[in-house]
Amino acid sequence: QRGLLKDFWGAGMKAVAEHTDIVPELAPDGEDLLLTKWRYSAFAQTDLAERMAAQGRDQIVVTGVYAHIGCQLTAADAFMRDIRPFLIADALADFNADYHRMA
């Protein structure tokens, strides 16, 4: 499912608690949407856009790791779908400060 991403980066994260646990303060509740992101954009190979449209949502808050890759591409993809993206600088991480500033 990861296509060329697997060739480039390897198998990726495993579906084990060590890789998927969320700190209790940010843990999702029953109303939150959880999806597995297979590509750099959270919209690729997921039903995120359809779920957002069904709920009348036209804005998305983007946080995560690898700000200059996945977060930036998710934001760009959202914009191209007429969904207003918001990137939260303090909730983005990257390989180093230069990549973080670039994003």
Which tens digit of pLDDT belongs to each residue from 57-95?
A: 999 999 988 888 899 999 999 999 999 999 998 999 888
Tell me the pLDDT band of 36, cut-offs 50, 70 and 90.
Answer: confident
Average pLDDT over residues 36-49: 92
CATH of domain 36-102: 3.40.50.850
Tell me the pLDDT band of 55, cut-offs 50, 70 and 90.
Answer: very high
- Quote the tokens at residue 79: 């914009």
Phi, psi for residue 60 in degrees, rounded to 5: -140, 140
What's this model's pTM, rounded to 2 decimal places? Answer: 0.81
Q: Which residue has the higher pLDDT, 14 or 93?
A: 93
pLDDT of 2: 66
Question: Strands, DSSP E only, in the chain?
Answer: 59-64, 84-92
Does position 7 have pLDDT exceeding 80, yes or no? no
